[in-house]
Amino acid sequence: MIVAVTGVVLIAFVVGHLLGNLQIFLGPDWVNSYAEHLRALGPLLWAIRAFLLVSVLLHIFYTISLAIENRRARPVQYERKDNVKATFASRYMAMSGLIVLAFILYHLAHFTVRVTDPRFLLLKADPLNRYDVYSMMVYGFQNIFVSAFYIIGMFLLALHLSHGTSSFFQSLGLNDKKLTPRLALAGRIFAWLIFVGYTSIPIAVLFHLVKPAQEL
């Protein structure tokens, strides 16, 4: 239950974050002003961050303890175990979750704390004297390894969500026999839309469809 509820919070964040990021296609002004607005929230931003952090921690704590319990529930493994219906995504939630976690940590270090790429310190403010998030993103993604890791991270996130989204309805008892298959399909479509949305950014950068707003 807690896993489901925190999951929803995180899904909401994932959607919001995607909408924010997609503004990159609207040009530097949009993104930079969006970033500025976020920063202007001040303590509220920190409150949101704290809330997300708590959600993530709870989500992780409960899923890990569930996973441990689940492993204990079958001390002797099958020699051969076939799956009739369980999808790959549903069986490897802990795995995909942990890799996504690793990705998030890197991602935060990369774009939020900006400790991995010294070039970001060289960025000048944009014409309206805002931090040039736009150029930071573009430079960040021009590195093929960064983009590759980002895409892999997003792939696993999508995998995680393809099960997690519909799973939420089941865990909270918000579905029935008719709804279940529809929700499962909707969950999958949603997850892969998220994937397409997020990966469109590094792809666009790598293919030079989006260029930095300033030279370093």
Partner 1 sequence: MKFKLKVWRQKTATAPGKLVEYQAKDVSPNTSFLEMLDVVNEGLVAQGKEPIAFDSDCREGICGTCSLTINGEAHGPDHPGAACEVYMRRFKDGETIVVEPFRAKPFPLIKDLVVDRSALDRIVQAGGFIAARAGSAPEANSILVPKHEADRSMEAAACIGCGACAAACPNASAMLFTAAKVSHLAFLPQGQPERTTRVLKMVTAMDAEGFGNCTNTYECEAVCPASISASLIAKLNREYAIASLKRRAGE
**Shortest Å, Cβ 98 to partner 1:** 15
CB-based burial, 114-127: b 16+ in 10 Å, e otherwise: beebeebeebeebe
**Shortest Å, Cβ 88 to partner 1:** 10
Distance between CA atoms of residues 51 and 131, nearest Å: 25
Q: What is the CA radius of gyration of the chain?
A: 19
Smaller CB separation from partner 1, 84 or 113: 84
Smaller CB separation from partner 1, 27 or 181: 181
Smaller CB separation from partner 1, 161 or 210: 161
- Closest Cα to residue 64, out of 2, 157, 156? 2
**Shortest Å, Cβ 4 to partner 1:** 9
| 94: Cα within 13 Å, side-chain hemisphere | 12
**Shortest Å, Cβ 186 to partner 1:** 14
Please name the residue that has the structure tokens 């950014």. 201
CA angle 54, 69, 53 (to 5 degrees): 10
User: 42: part of which helix (H) or strand (E)?
Assistant: none
Helix axes 2-22, 43-72, angle to 10 degrees: 130
**Shortest Å, Cβ 66 to partner 1:** 5
Q: Provide the residue type at 86 as one letter.
A: A
Smaller CB separation from partner 1, 70 or 125: 70
Smaller CB separation from partner 1, 166 or 199: 166
| 123: Cα within 13 Å, side-chain hemisphere | 26
Residue ranges that bind partner 1, judged by CB under 8 A:
1, 66, 69-87, 90-91, 93, 163, 166-167, 169-177, 179-180
Q: Is 3 helix (H, G, I), strand (E, B) or coil?
A: helix
**Shortest Å, Cβ 69 to partner 1:** 6
Smaller CB separation from partner 1, 123 or 183: 183
